[in-house]
Amino acid sequence: MTAVIDPQATLETPLLADNVQLIGGEWVPAASGETLEVINPANREVLSRIPRGAAADVDAAVQAAERALPGWRDTNATARAGLLFRWAALVEENAEVLDQLESRDVGRPHWGPSPLAGMIRFIAGQTDKVQGLSLPTYSPDVLGFTLREPYGVVGAIIPWNAPGPMFTNEVAAAIAAGNTIVIKPAEDAPLAPLALAQLAMDAGIPAGVINVVTGLGAEAGAAIPNHPGIRRVGFTGSPATGSTVMEACARNLIPLHLELGGKSPQVIFPDADLATAAQAIATGITLNTGQICAAGSRVVVHRSIHQEVVERLATAMQQVTVGPWHQKVNMGPLINGKQHGRVMGYIEAGRDGGADLVLGGDTPSGEDFGEGYFVNPTLFDNVSPDMKIAQEEIFGPVLSVIPVDDEQEAIEVANGVDYGLVASVWTEDVGTAVRMSRALQAGQVGVNNALGAGVIGGPFGGYKSSGFGRTMGADAVLNWTQTKTVSLRGATRPVN
């Protein structure tokens, strides 16, 4: 929980600006002059106005990135790492401001110590560890080796649910490899990314290395993978939009990585610590109001403990306090009206589909909630694996309990969705943990933890419709490089 903060207080920081985006080291409006409002999801008040960037702005950003590329690419790796370490230090100094910006933007309460500086430092440490290989040759007068080189100008599109960490993941790794980047944050939550970009420039990262274009996905976002000057793309978002981005990348024959969400199972066996499991699962599904791709939204539980688990989950979820981010609460609002309508629609689908509504399913009332996009933690029981709420990503604090009879059925239900991002197993038996870790189709498997978290440098990414490619791991920087093979034969001269 966080201390009560005046939500109307002005943050005393140069990191806030109105109607500007970063192109070539300059804070500029959109070429069209149009703007978009950034709305506080807790009360629908206007937080800021940002440029409504579009293809012309992306083109200007790509040109700026192309101008900056030769100098940045040829800066030695140790020097690049030093600038990233300096960026991390400034991020750490401004951690409270960055956290408040994201809280206002997204509507979430304080999460705890900020991970952003540590994320940048982890990547900075990889920067001068990018190495090629010595290769065998057929002739002793030929030397063979590989070089790891940046792609050039790259692009990224990030969502609104965790804009600070998403920005850091994409930008730090891409520029550490020697690329320059054009990135579009979500129009609903651009403030923390813009502030992080300002701190990067304050750290000495040259103009044009990082360019931030704000605007709508269909305009500014679509222009990134469609631009012929972009050589690689990173995208995090919905499968539908990811498919569109992939089609654009295919037309330009450029690689990309996709992280497209999940429908993560929480598989509970009879020997599990049920008290710990229930509390962790309830916390996981209500953290950020369930707007986390890794959220464990399906509880696949052995029938012998089914009723006890439901009771424990209901108790834990009833204890989750809801309200504006600046109050002492556990859960804030959903990001916007569209998302609120989406979540309420899924709740209605759960009722209509025959699931038992145990808890929630409505919106809280009272003066603290006003016009905000709030919804109460919601628990459904006796959910069939083929129900809409069991198959589709809701991206809200909605938990479905699915009883099963044995381990094999648990595996079938857990894997029986299009997604494969995160899965969790709750058991005290090592053999069960090993079997399930291998059987579950997910990019991350947590044993006795709810979000697959807690590992420093664990590669993050999905199976199946959750996307492909990995971020955050020991290869984060390497993933933004391409390999060149060099075959070197010395000139033949007569020996005197």
Residue at token pair 């940002």: 50
Find out whether 399 and 360 touch, Cβ atoms under 8 Å.
Answer: no
Please count the helices (runs of H) and the strands (runs of E) in the chain: 14, 22
Q: Which of 166, 192, 198, 189 is nearest to 100 (CA)?
A: 192
Is pLDDT at 2 greater than 60 in this prediction?
Answer: no
More confident residue, 287 or 454: 287
Mean pLDDT on 338-362: 97
The pLDDT of residue 110 is above 60 = yes
**Could you tell me the pLDDT band of residue 487, with boundaries at 50, 70 and 90?**
very high
Share of the chain above pLDDT 70, in %: 95
Interval 103-120 mean pLDDT: 93
Q: How far apart are CA 442 and CA 427, in angstroms?
A: 18
Q: Residues 443, 463: contact at Cβ < 8 Å?
A: yes
- Separation between Cα atoms, residue 292 and residue 285, nearest integer Å: 8
In angstroms, the Cα distances linking 280 to 102, 141, 283, 485 are: 24, 62, 5, 48
How far apart are alpha carbons 190 and 241 in whole angstroms? 19
State whether residue 463 is helix, strand or coil: strand
Report, as residue numbers or ranges, the catalytic residues: 259, 293
Asked if 393 contacts 366 with a C-beta cutoff of 8 angstroms, the reply is no
Q: Is the pLDDT of residue 144 over 50?
A: yes
**pLDDT tens-place string over residues 157-203:** 999 999 999 999 999 999 999 999 999 999 999 999 999 999 999 99
CA dihedral 477, 482, 487, 488 (to 10 degrees): -60
| Interval 416-445 mean pLDDT | 97
Please state the rounded mean pLDDT for residues 65-83.
98
Give the C-alpha distances (Å, rounded to integers) separating 116 from 139, 144, 167, 496. 49, 40, 10, 63
**pLDDT for residue 14 is more than 70:** no
**Please, what is the Cα angle at 161 between 124 and 80, to 5 degrees?**
15
Query: Using one digit for the tens of pLDDT, what is the confidence trace for 197-224?
Result: 999 999 999 999 999 999 999 999 999 9
Structure tokens at 460: 């993050």
Q: Is the pLDDT of residue 32 over 70?
A: yes
- Which pLDDT score is estimated for 7? 44
Rounded to an integer, the average pLDDT of 478-491 is: 93
Contact (CB, 8 A) for 117 and 95 = yes
Summarize pLDDT for 287-324 with one digit per residue, the tens.
999 999 999 999 999 999 999 999 999 999 999 999 99
pLDDT number for residue 451 = 77
pLDDT of residue 370: 81
Place of tokens 């690329």: 179
The rounded mean pLDDT for the chain is 94
Burial of 412 (0-12, 13-18, 19+ CB in 10 A): middle
What does 207-238 look like in DSSP terms, one character per residue?
Answer: TTSEEE--B-IIIIIHHHHH-TT---EEEES-
pLDDT tens digits along 255-278: 999 999 999 999 999 999 999 999
To which residue do tokens 């599904």 refer?
Answer: 285
Following CA atoms 27, 31, 33, 38 in sequence, which dihedral angle do they give, to the nearest 10 degrees?
A: -60
CB atoms within 10 A of CB 292: 21
